[in-house]
Each structure stands twice: as structure tokens, then as C-alpha cells.
Chains A and B, each alone.
Chain A
């Protein structure tokens, strides 16, 4: 059974940093690209970042480029999202998702809430 478990969310002040983790199980982690998608309270889904199975090709939304860094550690079946210079508008539930194929996500984690506020 495929499982994705995010952690690392919480309350952080504007300008602060946070690192999210997503532990994957139930599938060959290195064989699949992974994606971060976020959802602000009461709002729609927003694609944040994607990383290929090897960790070589990484893509970011313009809204987070230069502030967020996505990485993965195959030995730990874990996906990461390092978030720096956080802004109020980064407040959202952050989901990790397994790519079935380009831009299609067949499994999602339960999400972790990030709140940026003073």
C-alpha cells in the first residue's frame, strides 16, 4: 500500500525558515518523480515544486523560486521541501504527491499545515 506521510509544518514568523519532510512507502521511491502542492486556507490547489526520480531535475513555481529548495534522499525514501524567507502568503497546507506521470498525481499525503505569522 502506497503511503505518503508529511511532517515539519508549524507556525513560523515572516522571514523564517521551515523544512518539510515526506516519507514514502509502498512503491520504489527512486523510480518516481515527486511533487509538492499547497493549498491556502479556503483556496484552491497550487503547484509548488517537482523533482524527478534521480533528484537531478527540479522545477519550481515562480512564486517560490529562489526561496524554496526541493530535494530527496532515496536511502530514506524521503522528500524534502526547505522553505526560506517565508511570507504570509506561503501559509497553506502542503501536500506531497507521487507522480504517476507528467503532472498527474496518483497518491497524496494527508498534508502538513504551515502558518507564517508574527
Chain B
């Protein structure tokens, strides 16, 4: 049971927006301002999408945005494209380790 809970799957049509949530379920989460999101296409390594809740590394599309409310971080993908179909993982850290959410499979219909 991960300390970060994500929905197993979400879906959307091209052009739509989807939001993936990540809820901290443990009081061990060290810093709720330090949520990170990764995108992973099948057979590929994860790619950093969002760090520190809202920051995008250079080269990441502005269609990806992050937010936080209480103990729930969210990743919003706007203007869905076929290439966005992938697995998405949130991450943070506890006082003794790094934790990942279970992952959310995004299907573009």
C-alpha cells in the first residue's frame, strides 16, 4: 500500500483535459510542497514532468501543469494528444525514503 494514492486509470478524448490526482495517505510524507510527476511510455524510462508541485523542467510542454490542494496533488493535461497516452506517477518523500504512487494509466480515446 503506497503512501501516495492515484487512480488506476483515466481517459479522455483528443483535445480534452484530464486531471490525475495523487493523495498523500501517510503522515510520514515529509514535504507536501515537493510532489513530483513522471511520465512513462511503454518500454521507456520515466521522464520528469513536474517538480515541486507546479514547476515544469525546460522542454516539457505547457500543456502539463500541476497543482496542490490540502494533501492532494494533481496533474492536469490539457489539449490531450495521442502521444500523451502513457503511465503517470507521482512521487514525494517520507523521512526515510522516497515514495511513488501506484501509477495512473492514461488512455486517449
A interface list, Cβ under 8 A from B: 35, 37, 44-47, 50, 59, 61-62, 95, 100-106, 108-111
Q: Within 8 Å CB of A100, what residues of B?
A: 48, 51, 57
Interface residue B34 (Cβ < 8 Å from any Cβ of A): yes
CB atoms of A45 and B93 under 8 A apart: no
CB atoms of A44 and B102 under 8 A apart: yes
In whole angstroms, how far apart are the Cα atoms of A36 and B6 in the complex?
A: 22
The residue on A at minimum CB distance from B36 is A104
Q: Nearest chain A CB to B97's CB is how many angstroms away?
A: 6
The total of chain B residues at the interface (CB under 8 A) is: 24
Q: Within 8 Å CB of A44, what residues of B?
A: 2, 89, 100-103
Q: Would you list the 6 A-B pairs with minimal beta carbon distance, nearest first?
A: A47-B98, A108-B45, A103-B93, A45-B100, A44-B103, A103-B98
Q: Nearest chain B CB to A49's CB is how many angstroms away?
A: 10
In whole angstroms, how far apart are the Cα atoms of A59 and B34 in the complex?
A: 19
Partner of A103, one of B40, B46, B89, B91: B91
Interface residue B32 (Cβ < 8 Å from any Cβ of A): no
Interface residue B92 (Cβ < 8 Å from any Cβ of A): yes
Q: Which of B9-55 contact A (CB under 8 A)?
A: 34, 36, 38, 40, 45-48, 51-52
Interface residue B82 (Cβ < 8 Å from any Cβ of A): no
In whole angstroms, how far apart are the Cα atoms of A31 and B47 in the complex?
A: 21
In whole angstroms, how far apart are the Cα atoms of A35 and B99 in the complex?
A: 13
Q: Within 8 Å CB of A95, what residues of B?
A: 45-46
